[in-house]
Amino acid sequence: MLDIGLLVRVHVDALIVAQNHMGVCDAIRRIAPVGKLAAMSAPHLPKVAGIDPEVPVSTHTSAPLTEVPGPPGAFIQDRLAGWVSDLTTLHELTERLAGTSTLDDALNELLRAGAALVGARRGLLVLEPAHEQAHEPARGEGPSATLGLGLSHAELGLLETVPRAATALGRVLDGLPGTADGVASPDLLGEQDLDPRHREAATRLGYAASYALPLASEAAGRLGAALWLYDEPAEPAQKQRHLAGLYARYATEHLARLIELERARADVAAVAEELLPSRLPRISGVQLAARHRTGPRGGGDWYDALPLPDRTLGLAVGSVGGSGPSAMAAMGRLRASLRAYAVMEGEDPVAVLSDLELLLRLTEPARTATALFAYCEPAARKVVLAGAGHTPPLVLGERRCEFVETTLSAPLGMLACWEAPSVEFSPAPGETVLLYTDGLLRRTGDPMDRAFARLHSAAASVPKAGRHDPAAVADHVLRTMLPDGLDRSDSAEDVVILAAHFD
């Protein structure tokens, strides 16, 4: 039996590995066959009897090797290192994309990552999701967006003047044949049949090549397309296209989930708005303004303003515990019940909240709520209010900015019988009474005592020119308390502000 050397076995194993990863033909081309060792093809040894005949070498036997070629391990290691590097880059980019929670953030991240993958500096993304289901016509096509990377609004407008069919982006958006794997335009200005308006836009914006890629997958369908621009004639290599395609398919699935989330939030906000007053009443001697935002899951914060007999006014704010559709439904029932009790006995806020507490305890014993009801006589500038576990109102005027002293009481549904004294105060001419829910305080992320201090400071900093406008007061307080805006999706809290300015 022949003893095959270790070097031969290593070469055979390397050949098998290369065949598995590169394909048989490619491996054979890249790895030279290893010949037999010299010991295997050497002449026979001389006979022991002293006769030393010449033993010719067979013509069917390979010639002895003078040197053994080096193993292909370095080549395979380079290939593996390249694959690992590509996978690591793709993993990092998809992780960053998965960390986005809003559609705008995801679109911006997609544009930046795609530009890095294809080696471009600028880009453009168009989102045009459409429902293919015939049973969903009322929901529309979903949110549409046009976003640029390294392009100003004016430059985006210039690109929009180019006919859709004359651009690779437009052909990809329309799903024309041959665009599923992307469309490369390596030398736009060198194309003889380039649309004149496209040539003008490319010349003015200073790009000479482009690469368009669809945002589509089997599960999500076609959501839009992205276009990246090159300053010089160029096109992405095959490996770059492959990585960009993998990333785009993953990004499409992520965008589809965010689009559905945006639609759900829009539906929740629409239902919440329908449960609240469509317009505020007009009462002589008082001006009203309200600001309301529903959390992403739908909450139970509400407000109300209803005219009462003798030109009086009822103001109410409240919050139902929990979130989601059940909390919104409970909020609607609670608000409707309070309106009925206010019409019957609105001049006694304690009686209104007592009836509301009894109704809540009998119909929904597992639910709690906070509420504040104020009975206002604008002509006499008189306000009588009662609160059940709710935040105190704030009075803002030329000479004061202070919280109204209210009695300490438990929320509705927590006591066998709720009753707390009412409070009466008189706002001076030109003062504004600010009612709000604790969602305004909780969205700041500060402890409650610090959040109250921030609210007081925000109200005190309202410019004098805007203190006679309740809408300006509410907007200033919101901007000061929540500088990042009300549309942040990382907070589940509702926000309600009801401002009443007394003439």
Q: How far is CA 39 from the centre of its chain?
A: 70
Burial class (CB in 10 A: 0-12, 13-18, 19+), 403: middle
Least confident range of 151-160, 194-203, 412-421: 412-421
| Furthest C-alpha separation in the chain | 141
Task: State pLDDT tens for residues 341-363.
Answer: 999 998 999 999 999 998 888 88
Q: How far is CA 119 from CA 155, 184, 289, 295, in A?
A: 21, 13, 52, 40
**How sure is the predictor about 143, in pLDDT bands with cuts at 50, 70 and 90?**
low
At 37 the three-state DSSP class reads coil
pLDDT at site 166:
92
Q: Which helix (H) or strand (E) holds 123?
A: strand 122-127
Kindly report whether the global pTM for this prediction surpasses the value 0.85.
no
pLDDT at site 45:
44
Per the CB < 8 A criterion, the answer to whether 208 and 176 are in contact is no
Per the CB < 8 A criterion, the answer to whether 225 and 126 are in contact is yes
**How sure is the predictor about 186, in pLDDT bands with cuts at 50, 70 and 90?**
very high
Task: State pLDDT tens for residues 271-325.
Answer: 877 888 889 999 999 999 999 887 766 678 999 999 999 899 999 999 998 877 8
Closest CA to 443 of 477, 492, 394: 492
pLDDT at site 15:
38
Closest CA to 226 of 236, 140, 89, 260: 236
Mean pLDDT in residue range 30-41: 39
- Percent of the chain topping pLDDT 70: 80
DSSP 8-state symbol, 380: T
User: Number of helices and strands (H, E) in the chain?
Assistant: 14, 15
pLDDT at site 130:
63
Least confident range of 52-66, 126-140, 389-403: 52-66
Whether the pLDDT of residue 263 is over 90: the answer is no
For residue 149, the tally of other CB atoms under 10 A from its CB is 21
**How sure is the predictor about 80, in pLDDT bands with cuts at 50, 70 and 90?**
confident
More confident residue, 71 or 441: 441
- Give exposure, 320-354, as e/b (b: 16+ Cβ within 10 Å): bbbbeeebbebbbebbebbbebbeeebebbbbbbb
Least confident range of 177-181, 207-211, 212-216, 291-295: 291-295
List the domains of the chain with CATH numbers.
101-132+140-268 (3.30.450.40), 277-502 (3.60.40.10)
Mean confidence (pLDDT) of the chain:
82
**Phi-psi bin for 384: left (phi > 0), alpha (psi -120 to 50), beta?**
beta
**Most confident stretch, 112-121, 254-263, 418-427:** 112-121
pLDDT at site 137:
39
**Most confident stretch, 76-85, 180-189, 476-485:** 180-189
Least confident range of 175-189, 233-247, 271-285: 271-285
Closest CA to 323 of 455, 404, 442, 154: 442
DSSP 8-state symbol, 200: H
At 31 the three-state DSSP class reads coil
Mean pLDDT in residue range 45-69: 47
Rounded CA-CA distance 265/297 in Å is: 7
Entry field: residues in the chain: 503
* 477 phi and psi angles, rounded to 5 deg: -60, -40
More confident residue, 257 or 47: 257
Least confident range of 354-368, 412-426, 459-473: 412-426
Whether the pLDDT of residue 2 is over 70: the answer is no
pLDDT at site 298:
67
Whether the pLDDT of residue 451 is over 90: the answer is yes
**How sure is the predictor about 6, in pLDDT bands with cuts at 50, 70 and 90?**
very low
pLDDT at site 24:
32
Rounded CA-CA distance 317/297 in Å is: 20
Per the CB < 8 A criterion, the answer to whether 306 and 375 are in contact is no
* 385 phi and psi angles, rounded to 5 deg: -140, 160
CB neighbours of 68 closer than 8 A, spacing ≥ 6? 7, 34, 37
Closest CA to 462 of 402, 393, 397: 397
Whether the pLDDT of residue 448 is over 70: the answer is yes
pLDDT at site 26:
41
HEC assignment per residue over 291-354:
EEECCCCCEEEEEEEEEECCCEEEEEEEEEEEECHHHHHHHHHHHHHHHHHHHHHCCCHHHHHH
**How sure is the predictor about 417, in pLDDT bands with cuts at 50, 70 and 90?**
low
Per the CB < 8 A criterion, the answer to whether 476 and 426 are in contact is no
Both tokens of residue 380?
Answer: 């006499």
Whether the pLDDT of residue 63 is over 60: the answer is no
Per the CB < 8 A criterion, the answer to whether 176 and 200 are in contact is no
**Phi-psi bin for 485: left (phi > 0), alpha (psi -120 to 50), beta?**
left
Mean pLDDT in residue range 62-83: 67
Both tokens of residue 262?
Answer: 């945006």
